[in-house]
Amino acid sequence: MEQAIIWSIPALALAALIEFIVSVRRGRKTYRGNDTLANLSQGVISQLIGACTPLLQIGIYTLVFSYLGHALELPFWHTWYGFALAVVMFDFCEYWLHRVGHEVSVFWAAHVVHHQSEELNICTALRQESQNAVLGWPFYLPMAIAGVPPEVFAFSLLLVQYYQIWAHTEQVGKLGWLDGVFTTPSNHRVHHAVNDCYLDRNYGGLFVLWDRLFGTYAAETERCVFGTRSPVRSFNPLRAITQVYGDLARDCWHAQRWQDKIKVWFMPPGWRPADVAERFPKPGFDVNRTTYDPPATRMALGLATVVFLSLSVASGFVLWNAETMDYSSLLLCTAVLIAGFCGVGELLERGRRPSLAWPDGSSGIPS
């Protein structure tokens, strides 16, 4: 699966380039260098972690299929209509995982990475969460029990995931009747928005019909504001990945009642025990907040770009050979590459100063 993703990179790069050119010509630029590098770094990290967790990605599915679903495996699943049914089944399972990812705090902690960008473009689509597979794999097991072969499941996964990429854009308007059936850019802008009228809507991956059926649909009626209600305000990928986990852990630690220590993890995002909210209040949400865009020097942004490209090439080599690599070597390479991407984030953070100095203004070199 990693090799299939690598083969798709030229097409994704071309699509992002076309979107960028269109946005510039229309005067509706939706790309910023720092945000784009942060998004792409998260995307590469998610693939590296996925390569290190094959058991959670498709291994458990294959195991359950071999024990419970193999007897139901039919030639039907390898026909075009069998593939079509599998895609619909996958999208239905994906809807419920996605919905739980917004309605249960511990799942939101994993999913939030995908929503942290305050822009919406094709590179935002590639900003994938790294931890979702840890909690998400049970949602797809009904397909294994129903006899959907692992290779058909993998095909359905790739199709639905790749379909959703084009929906992450501000450059495509409403599309008439298509908006009522499929996940389109208009529908998905609503999903990524933090406006009150859009919050927790339009979870569908391929079809928005699930949202209409289960009461989570909203049409685009006002300008969308993107991001999260607790913005990460950082380009460091590890800070982005751990942000909500850290918030939940702190609230759990400070809660006085044991029931609240447990509820913190399973209540809707934003819920806090009354005693914790009183002792450690958080600022209210402002939909008109300033976008996080620290000015970067050309040297910092250029260096961050060079480092990012170098790390991406190295990551591509690791992903291409992941299935044949020794597992300890794979883990070591992944850890080193993630540390490198954190370095890219730090370059973008420190770019606001005229030189790559330390926060106190010194060079960081002992005298």
Q: How far is it, in rounded angstroms, from Cα 324 to Cα 2?
A: 12
Report the distance separating Cα 40 and Cα 23, nearest Å. 19
CA distance 7 to 196: 39
Contacts of residue 232, defined as CB under 8 A and 6 or more positions apart, other chains included, come to 116, 239, 240, 243
Per the DSSP assignment, residues forming a β-bridge with 226 are 193
Nearest in space to 133 (alpha carbons), one of 47, 39, 204, 248: 47
pLDDT, average across residues 338-365: 63
Integer CA distances (angstroms), 345 to 6, 54, 130, 239, 329, in order: 23, 27, 17, 10, 25
Q: Take residue 241 and report the two structure tokens written for it.
A: 């990945």
Mean pLDDT score, 54-76: 83
pLDDT in tens, 204-258: 999 999 999 999 999 999 999 999 999 999 999 999 999 999 999 999 999 999 9
Q: What is the pLDDT of residue 309?
A: 97
Residue of 226, 204, 10 whose CA lies nearest to 90: 204
Range list of H helices, 219-350? 237-254, 258-266, 274-279, 298-320, 327-350
Classified as helix, coil or strand, 309 is helix
Exposure string (b/e) for 322-348, b if CB count within 10 Å is 16 or more?
beebeeeebeebbeebbebbbbbbbbb
Alpha carbon distance 174, 238 (integer Å): 36
pLDDT 10s digits, 272-321: 999 999 999 998 888 888 899 988 788 888 999 999 999 999 999 999 99
Res 265: pLDDT: 97
pTM recorded for the entire structure: 0.90
Tens of pLDDT, residues 171-213 = 999 999 999 999 999 999 999 999 999 999 999 999 999 999 9
Residue 300 confidence (pLDDT): 87
Q: What is the rounded CA–CA span in Å between residue 158 and residue 165? A: 11
CB-count exposure of residue 7 (10 Å: 0-12, 13-18, 19+): exposed
CB 25 within 8 A of CB 165: no
Reported as a pLDDT band with limits 50, 70 and 90, residue 364 is very low
Q: How far is CA 244 from CA 77, 104, 251, in A?
A: 40, 12, 11
- Given a contact cutoff of 8 angstroms between Cβ atoms, the answer to whether 58 and 154 are in contact is yes
pLDDT in the model for residue 218: 97
The whole-number pLDDT of residue 73 equals: 66
Q: For position 284, what pLDDT does the model report?
A: 85
Question: What pLDDT, on the 0 to 100 scale, is given for residue 71?
Answer: 66
Residue 120 contacts residue 190 (beta carbons within 8 Å):
no
Distance between CA atoms of residues 293 and 303, nearest Å: 18
